[in-house]
Structure 1
Amino acid sequence: MESVKNSRKLVMFSCCFLLINIYVLVGAQDGAHKYVWQTKLLNDLLANYHKGVPPSLNGSPGPAVTVDLRFSLVNFDFIDEANEVATVYGWFYQAWNDPRLMWDPASYNGTDVMKINANDVWLPDIEMFNTGTVVQNLDSDVMVYSTGMVHRVPSVQITFICRMDFKFFPYDNQVCQLKFGSWHYHADVIILTQSIDDIDLSSHERSRNFELTNTSAKRNVMKYECCPEKYIDITYTLHLKRVSSAYSVKLVLPAALTGFLILATFLLPPASYEKITLCGLIFIALLLQLIYLHDIVPASGDTILGDYFAFALFIDFFATIIAAVSYNVHVRSSPKMQQHSSIMMKEMEGDDRDLRMKMPQNQSKIGFLRYLDFVCFVIFGIVFIVGMAIILGRRG
């Protein structure tokens, strides 16, 4: 009885194993069968296909190809601000209809979509028109449907020139434009459309240096002097605001503190030689800050902060000259003052007319220098406050 049970178990196990093998073989044959049909479909589609010719029926010129263009932004940043070079990472969604790639799914075992290498089919020559642009397409496949619809979503890395306005640096706002269109074909061959009126930001990653405040997309139909035909382009605009917290600590705060030190030099006694030393140290500090600003901003960039540094250097230079003259007057007048003081002590009734003439003259010089220091303190203080108010007001 026990042997009968074991025999039944063995038979059941053998049947299960056989069914599994049959299922695997059938699935493999079905997969191979689908692969054979896709291979046949690909060969039939590309047999008389010319990828250099825009889509047309039966090889004859057809209507203009409508290409739907959408842009999804992933990341944006300036890689070289001194040369105004920016880079963009994202995806381009392109869709168009190519009647030469239509087929009947029933004739190919129900196959209704095929992935084809982009180098084997016609592609719209969409290029970026910005100066100095380098576009790298990082995907080379297209999805083709039985209706003839072709979808392509390449990931792109775009390096281009974006003209910047550094006037209110580091609290500046920048506007960059990316202009795309067909490089060779006019509107009678390729019609660019946009199914979305803006940039797709669903995958956007915030930049470390700039915050994206606004975006827009505009379709333009242009007629150039060179050609009678019209050309279509789509221009994407990025509005950016600099993340200025780091520059506030490294540049703006030192500039403000250095400005206060310049004001302090006008409060020191005119005859103090320490005033000359302080003015020299401030001059060096301003030069170092100006060099740091020059490394960030291009030579053609005009900034309020740069004008502030230039004005501060001039005021500090002026303060140094005044300090040197004041100290020189003090040193030259001191021996005479001591000599006349001794004469006063010894000859109370002598002719001290020269003494009374020279002492007021020396005191009047020192008084004039003090008055000059006060005037410079007031003028530079007003300019300093107004300048910082403009810069900080721009920040808000």
Structure 2
Amino acid sequence: MESLQKLFACCFLLINIYVLVGAQDGVHYAWQTRLLDDLLSNYHKGVPPSANGPPGPGMTVDLQFSLVNFDFIDEDNEVASVHGWLFQTWNDPRLKWEPAAYNGTESLKMAANDVWLPDIEMFNTGTVVENVEADVMVDSTGKVLRVPSVQITFICKMDLKFFPYDNQVCQLKFGSWHYHAGVVNLTQSNDNIDLSYHGQSRDFELTNTSAKRNAVKYECCPEKYVDITYTLHLKRVSSAYSVKLVLPAALTGFLILATFLLPPASYEKITLCGLIFIALLLQLIYLHDIVPASGDTILGDYFAFALFIDFFATIIAVVSYHVHVRSSPKMQQHSSIMMKEMEGDDGDLRMKMPQDRKREFLRYVDFVSFVIFGIAFVVGLAIILGHRG
């Protein structure tokens, strides 16, 4: 019997707690509804908070960009895309209230469509797409906070000179599209991009960031317009390209010099030069596929120079082989006559045949070509690198 009474007592206590909490929630909801009605009764969201204020600096909008992810860089069209959060903080005196008058309510969430919002836009030919329609948080002092999650696509000029060891600099320029500094004065609480939630990209490594406030006076208007420019310094992740492109290019170039180490006047030299030419062309096509046609790179100049060297190496090999083949029958005939004249002579007598002299001459040509082409190869690369640097 006593256990049954305790059970009823516990149930009664839980019911009272539930009713009390529900009543408090209902009261709190009623006070928030009343507060919203009072704040928005004479509120015009098309008018900025500083419109009725005294002349001078406009209302301050603090802007902070938090980078979440660097999505991609389209090198063909010179377009980049990032995902992040755009923190916007400002003070709207029309949204102030006394917490004691509204049951101690200190903050309030309001729909973004109900209040004035700063018209922050991208200046450098970009688009900002909000992934989620972000509401605003307002406290009793009139401070407004809005944090939309944004997908930003913008123009990023590419410098592919040192591809695949290139560094890129991209900028995101935000500002008020309609209001000058006397109405909306942009500021930044941090001289850098917030990277607290940033994850590294697969293709580019973020090496440095910066933020700068600019006040610019344009020809159209006497007032100054303020913008915040965020700069991203990116370094390409080049380990894959080193294995797939740079190393084969270097080894193929050195094979050109190796052709002069083969025996003189051998047709294998012609075959090797032809294979090297084809290999360089295939690598050049691969480079063209991954780099835009407008991208002028040191690696592309290297392939063009290597093709030029291989072409002349092939010409030298063909001429040497042609000279050797044409002179061989005459040499053989002359050699047989001399052998007949030497019949009966001492077997230790040794004479240098014309064919041997021809081979020595061709070896000399190969050696000189090796030296000249080696010097040309080194000097040419130095000129290319010096010109590009």
SS of the aligned residue for 2:276 comes to: helix
**1:34 alignment partner AA:** H
Q: In structure 1, what is the Cα distance between the partners aligned to 2:380 and 2:257?
A: 9
> Which residue in the other structure is 2:151 paired with?
157
2:65–2:87 Cα contact (<8 Å) kept: yes
In structure 2, which of residues 164, 183, 195 is the aligned counterpart of residue 170 of structure 1?
A: 164
Q: In structure 1, what is the Cα distance between the partners aligned to 2:167 and 2:318?
A: 43
Q: In structure 2, what is the Cα distance between the partners aligned to 1:159 and 1:251?
A: 30
SS of the aligned residue for 1:266 comes to: helix
Q: In structure 2, what is the Cα distance between the partners aligned to 1:388 and 1:29?
A: 80
Matches within 5 A, 1:7-156: 8-56=2-50, 60=52, 64-131=58-125, 133-139=126-132, 140-156=134-150
Deviations 1:25-80 (CA, angstroms, capped at 9, x unpaired): 121121122112222222332233222221248xx466622101111122225332
Deviations 1:8-38 (CA, angstroms, capped at 9, x unpaired): 4433332321221121112112112211222
Q: In structure 2, what is the Cα distance between the partners aligned to 1:295 and 1:76?
A: 23
Structure 1 unaligned residues grouped into runs of 5+ = 1-5, 349-355
> Which residue in the other structure is 2:329 paired with?
335
Q: In structure 1, what is the Cα distance between the partners aligned to 2:6 and 2:360?
A: 124
Q: CA RMSD in A?
A: 2.9
Q: In structure 2, what is the Cα distance between the partners aligned to 1:297 and 1:262?
A: 25
Q: In structure 1, what is the Cα distance between the partners aligned to 2:91 and 2:121?
A: 19
> Which residue in the other structure is 2:347 paired with?
none
Matches within 5 A, 1:215-234: 215-234=209-228
Q: TM-score when scaled to structure 2?
A: 0.87
Change in Cα spacing, 1:77 to 1:280, as seen in structure 2 (3 Å) is: farther
1:78–1:84 Cα contact (<8 Å) kept: no
Q: In structure 1, what is the Cα distance between the partners aligned to 2:107 and 2:124?
A: 36
Q: In structure 1, what is the Cα distance between the partners aligned to 2:292 and 2:221?
A: 37
Moved more, 177-186 or 297-306: 297-306
1:70–1:93 Cα contact (<8 Å) kept: yes
Q: In structure 1, what is the Cα distance between the partners aligned to 2:385 and 2:183?
A: 56
2:309–2:373 Cα contact (<8 Å) kept: no
Structure 2 residue 366 is the aligned partner of structure 1 residue 377? no
1:82–1:296 Cα contact (<8 Å) kept: no
> Offset of 1:312 from its aligned partner?
0.5
Change in Cα spacing, 1:11 to 1:360, as seen in structure 2 (3 Å) is: closer
> Offset of 1:294 from its aligned partner?
1.9
Q: In structure 2, what is the Cα distance between the partners aligned to 1:223 and 1:236?
A: 20
1:197–1:218 Cα contact (<8 Å) kept: yes
> Offset of 1:152 from its aligned partner?
0.7
Matches within 5 A, 1:179-218: 179-218=173-212
SS of the aligned residue for 1:83 comes to: coil
Q: In structure 2, what is the Cα distance between the partners aligned to 1:389 and 1:179?
A: 34
SS of the aligned residue for 2:261 comes to: coil
SS of the aligned residue for 2:30 comes to: helix
Q: Report % sequence identity.
A: 72
Q: In structure 2, what is the Cα distance between the partners aligned to 1:105 and 1:126?
A: 31
Change in Cα spacing, 1:134 to 1:106, as seen in structure 2 (3 Å) is: same
> Offset of 1:371 from its aligned partner?
5.3
> Offset of 1:261 from its aligned partner?
0.9
> Offset of 1:182 from its aligned partner?
0.7
Change in Cα spacing, 1:382 to 1:12, as seen in structure 2 (3 Å) is: closer
**1:370 alignment partner AA:** D
> Offset of 1:346 from its aligned partner?
5.4
SS of the aligned residue for 1:75 comes to: strand
SS of the aligned residue for 2:82 comes to: strand
Structure 2 unaligned residues grouped into runs of 5+ = 343-351
> Offset of 1:374 from its aligned partner?
2.8
Q: In structure 1, what is the Cα distance between the partners aligned to 2:364 and 2:319?
A: 12
Deviations 1:170-227 (CA, angstroms, capped at 9, x unpaired): 2222211111111111111100011112111222222222222222111111011122
> Offset of 1:370 from its aligned partner?
2.9
Q: In structure 1, what is the Cα distance between the partners aligned to 2:170 and 2:266?
A: 53
> Offset of 1:137 from its aligned partner?
1.7
Structure 2 residue 224 is the aligned partner of structure 1 residue 264? no
> Which residue in the other structure is 2:232 paired with?
238
Matches within 5 A, 1:356-395: 366=362, 369-370=365-366, 372-383=368-379, 386=382
> Offset of 1:142 from its aligned partner?
0.8
Q: TM-score when scaled to structure 1?
A: 0.86
1:69–1:92 Cα contact (<8 Å) kept: yes
> Which residue in the other structure is 1:3 paired with?
none
Q: In structure 1, what is the Cα distance between the partners aligned to 2:280 and 2:360?
A: 33
**1:197 alignment partner AA:** D
Deviations 1:116-138 (CA, angstroms, capped at 9, x unpaired): 1212211111111123x121122
Q: In structure 1, what is the Cα distance between the partners aligned to 2:320 and 2:71?
A: 52
Structure 2 residue 275 is the aligned partner of structure 1 residue 295? no
Q: In structure 2, what is the Cα distance between the partners aligned to 1:159 and 1:264?
A: 49
> Which residue in the other structure is 1:323 paired with?
317
> Offset of 1:97 from its aligned partner?
0.9
